[in-house]
Amino acid sequence: MDFEALDSASTTLIWYTLYFLLLTTILLYLTVRNDHGRKVIRLPPGPPRWPIFGNLLQLGPLPHRDFANFCEKYGPLVYLRLGSVDAITTNDPDMIREILLRQDDIFASRPKTLAAVHLAYGCGDVALAPLGPHWKRMRRICMEHLLTTRRLESFTEQRAQETQHLVQDVWSKTQAGEVVNLRQLLGAFSMNNVTRMLLGKQYFGVESAGPDEAMEFMNVTHELFWLLGIIYLGDYLPVWRWFDPFGCEKKMRSVEKRIDEFHMKIIREHKKGQSQNAKGKIRDFVDVLLSLPGEDGADHMDDTDIKALIQDMIAAATDTSSVTNEWAMAEVIKHPQVLLKIQEELDSVVGRNRMVTESDLPQLNYLKCVVRETFRMHPAGPFLIPHESIRDTQINGYHIPAKTRVFINTHALGRNKHIWGNDLNIFRPERHELADGSRVEKRTTGWIGGVQ
């Protein structure tokens, strides 16, 4: 037996054990000292916390359900300690208004998560950027140059064409006796609507950029959404990043590279198109961005800023729209009485001799109720994008420390029995109508209030 090798291995094991015990002791001391310092302040109620891990060990694979259970037990505003991070969660409309509207100047920032760093160009976009001069500039570009009424109206014809293509696709499949895959059709519809306005081309259909490019684009967008939506332990326990046992950060870097290559290809195509277009005609949103001046007197916007805005626009309007549309169609098919009322309203407002147009939508009150009921029961995500407080504040007499992460639980808000009553698990669009049916009552968080 090689006693020298055995002795060396034993020594190494002892040193690793001592190192682990020392690290645990230091972390435990810091946690106890931190909790001791908090005894003089009144935090919101919440579940008991473990040393070091806080409440992380009490979360399962569906954290939005765990958060809802905490609110049911401890009240409308719950404090959690997630590893080294202070957090609050709520599904109460009054608390949500307090956070997103009355104190929006305090809670307008975003936490700098690893997913946002890797997948949003170092938090350089609009949706995930912390509050600051860069975010204000990027938001101003969106509001003044991209999302103006005039700019959106200029693409009305393209949106109408995509709607016509969708109807024709469904009709041709039903006539041929084929199965209609709603997820596939609605995903292509949402993607084409966005990419025609943003990039000037389709990714699905007869005049598309090609099936390979379309599928790569769709797949990388799905992966991006999944990574942005997970609660990654490395954001709350820095030591977790040393191991990354499930390879989440490795996956983030891989998706980051693929997305960046995709966006750079788009920018190169547009720059080449502009050089060949002597008149400098503006065709789409990317052309608009390429025509704008950059920071500090630069002639043009930085490519990284353009890529960040491209990603925001695509992410905000593809997966979320197609998922919501799919749920709405599923609920309407499941409830024939709802479908009948929609058809009656369409006959009354539009008639049977023409297609529905965007100008008809304000008059379709029952259809609005169907959309709101879909948002209530099937939000695109279980949480809003997390907010973060920029300084200490108080809510309902409770102290909220600076840099507290805020989880608005939209899934639980739509299932709050104090708002919706005992039939909250029933799809009933009429709950959103006023008594005379003249307009729609706004009680859900289909909107996102406040600065962000």
pLDDT tens for each residue of 369-382 = 999 999 999 998 89
Whether the Cβ atoms of residue 193 and residue 221 lie closer than 8 Å to each other:
no
Over the stretch 15-43, which tens digit does the pLDDT of each residue have? 555 455 556 666 665 555 555 545 568 99
Rounded to an integer, the average pLDDT of 242-264 is 92
CA distance linking residue 90 with residue 387, whole number of Å: 12
What rounded mean pLDDT belongs to the chain?
Answer: 86
Tell me, yes or no, whether 57 lies in a domain.
Answer: no
Over the stretch 174-189, which tens digit does the pLDDT of each residue have? 999 999 998 888 888 8
Percent of the chain with pLDDT over 70: 84
Tell me, yes or no, whether 85 lies in a domain.
Answer: no
Tell me, yes or no, whether 76 lies in a domain.
Answer: no
Q: What is the pLDDT of residue 264?
A: 93
Over the stretch 58-117, which tens digit does the pLDDT of each residue have? 999 999 999 999 999 999 999 999 999 999 999 999 999 999 999 999 999 999 999 999
Tell me, yes or no, whether 106 lies in a domain.
Answer: no
Lowest average pLDDT, out of 119-123, 189-193, 356-360, goes to 189-193
Q: What is the pLDDT of residue 441?
A: 64
Q: What is the pLDDT of residue 40?
A: 64
How far are the Cα atoms of 34, 35, 156, 390 from residue 38, in angstroms, in the given order?
Answer: 7, 5, 56, 19
Cβ count near 125 (within 10 Å):
27
Q: What is the pLDDT of residue 107?
A: 97
Tell me, yes or no, whether 211 lies in a domain.
Answer: yes
Q: What is the pLDDT of residue 206?
A: 63
Identify the domain containing residue 161 by its residue range: 138-296
How many domains is the chain partitioned into structurally? 1
Rounded to an integer, the average pLDDT of 340-368 is 95
Tell me, yes or no, whether 164 lies in a domain.
Answer: yes
Over the stretch 268-279, which tens digit does the pLDDT of each residue have? 989 887 766 655
Cβ count near 198 (within 10 Å):
21
Residue 121 banded pLDDT, cuts 50, 70, 90: very high
Rounded to an integer, the average pLDDT of 244-249 is 90
Tell me, yes or no, whether 216 lies in a domain.
Answer: yes
